[in-house]
Amino acid sequence: MNSKSWTENRLTARLGLQYPIIQGPLGGLSSQRLTAAVSNYGGLGSFGAHGLKPEAVRKVIREIKSLTSKPFAMNLWVSMEDEGALASTEETFQQSLAPLAKHIESVGGANASYRPYEPIRFEDQVQVLLEEGISTFSFIYGIPSKQILDEFRRRGVALIGTATTVDEAIALEHAGVDAIAASGFEAGGHRGSFLQPSEDSLTGTMALVPQVVDAVKLPVIAAGGIGDARGVVAAFALGADGVQMGTVFLACEESGANPLHRHALLSGQAKQTALTRGFTGRLARGIKNRLLNEFNQKDTKILPYPLQRSLVRHLTIPAEKAGRPELLPLWAGQSANLARCTDVRALLDTLAKEISEIGGAVQSWSAHRPIRERPVPTA
């Protein structure tokens, strides 16, 4: 595989990249330093800003711009809360708090008190992105309105939507995005299903990517369970134009992950991961530990997103200070045990070198793969 076969394609051309490697947004574990480091190398750094108020989003963008002049992506969630979040009561809060109370006490945390939900509006976050002049906007959990997408297109901003099923990919193509991240169920954290419940959208990356490639004419970014150069080359063989990697970047010191989390990723403690709604209220993947197992017990009361996320923070903040990883949400994909590097540049150097070395006869399909027309349904 010569360098051109995997570094120069329609995805890198549209996004202005040297390498078709995208750092996953990482939600609350994003950092300006990590985003800039990946972009400065020639990949696409990303920052997950969905939990930030608009002015905090503005501050992040400006900090990243102070660290890099290269393209980077800001990532938002189109769906900001689950049904029932606005109507949730103090009674339901106390029911969900009950199983956590003993853990909060054991790590010296303060008593958690009920506060009514104060929503952050997706549209207000979007307005900041437009005002600050970003190069790439990526999103999950839905499709923004035509009006919003049209305004980003008018300003030349690249649009990356996330699909966990073929139908979602087709919907994104119809909406006019520039590229589609096809996210397999191996991925760590949240995947962003939006047409069907997350539990009904659990297709693996190896099965999802080639089907999406066949179903759409846009560049496809493979995401989920890609932890080293072998996974990258496999994604190209499936027809992807690029890859999105998250967990391996979490292990790097530049990420926003705490030392306990990074140690778990690098020490072999991530052999088993599982899906749970317990950490945030939405289905997501993390390392199996005591907290995850307790949340997945039958009849455990889980608040709607993002109320559950806010509730769990009453435990995780003091648990981190107390050095108790068994009581932390440790986000990780199924490839977590492939994480080896603690430095972004070292990780990307290794990927670039090994992708070329092990690629061999495997050539990127982006330049010559057949475009298969979708069959027209019959009545």
Q: Quote the domain boundaries for residue 103.
A: 86-118+271-329
Q: What is the DSSP letter of 331?
A: B
Rg (CA), the chain: 20
Same domain (yes/no): 135, 216: yes
The pLDDT of residue 364: 44
Give the model's pLDDT for residue 373: 54
Domain count of the chain?
2
pLDDT for residue 1 is more than 60? no
**Reduced to 3 states, what is the DSSP secondary structure of residue 323?**
coil
One-letter identity of residue 148: I
Query: How far apart, in whole angstroms, are the C-alpha atoms of residue 215 and residue 376?
Result: 12
Give the number of other CB atoms < 10 A from CB of residue 139: 28
Q: Has residue 376 been placed in a domain? A: no
In a domain, residue 260? The reply is: no
What's the average model confidence in pLDDT over 60-86?
A: 97
Note whether 246 and 189 are same-domain residues.
yes
Q: Are residues 135 and 228 in the same domain?
A: yes
Give yes or no for a contact between 174 and 180, defined as CB atoms under 8 angstroms apart: no
The predicted structure's pLDDT at residue 358: 82
Mean pLDDT value across residues 7-28: 96
The CATH number assigned to the domain holding 196 equals: 3.20.20.70
Q: Does 166 score more than 50 pLDDT?
A: yes
pLDDT(366) > 50? no
Q: Is the per-residue pLDDT at 377 higher than 50? A: no
User: Is 246 inside a domain boundary?
Assistant: yes
pLDDT tens, residue by residue, 207-232: 999 999 999 999 999 999 999 999 99
What pLDDT is stored for residue 372 in this prediction? 52
In a domain, residue 375? The reply is no
pLDDT of residue 111: 86
Cβ proximity of 242 and 20 under 8 Å: yes
List pLDDT tens digits, range 232-264: 999 999 999 999 999 999 999 999 999 999 999
pLDDT band at 369 (very low <50, low <70, confident <90, very high): low
Q: Tell me the DSSP string of 155-215.
A: TT-EEEEEESSHHHHHHHHHHT-SEEEEE-TT-SB-----SS-GGG----HHHHHHHHHHH
**Domain assignment present for 163:** yes
State the pLDDT confidence band at 4, using cuts at 50, 70 and 90: low
Judgement on whether residues 129 and 70 belong to the same structural domain of the protein:
yes
Q: Are residues 245 and 286 in the same domain?
A: no
Q: Quick one: average pLDDT of 12-38?
A: 97
Check whether residue 173 and residue 203 sit in a common domain: yes
Structural domain includes residue 215: yes
Whether the upstream peptide bond of residue 210 has omega within 30° of 0, thus cis, is no
Q: What confidence score (pLDDT) does residue 286 get?
A: 98
Task: Please state, for a pLDDT cut of 90, what percent of the chain lies above it.
Answer: 90
The residue ranking higher by pLDDT, 377 or 301, is 301
Quick check: is 171 in a domain?
A: yes
Average pLDDT, the chain: 93
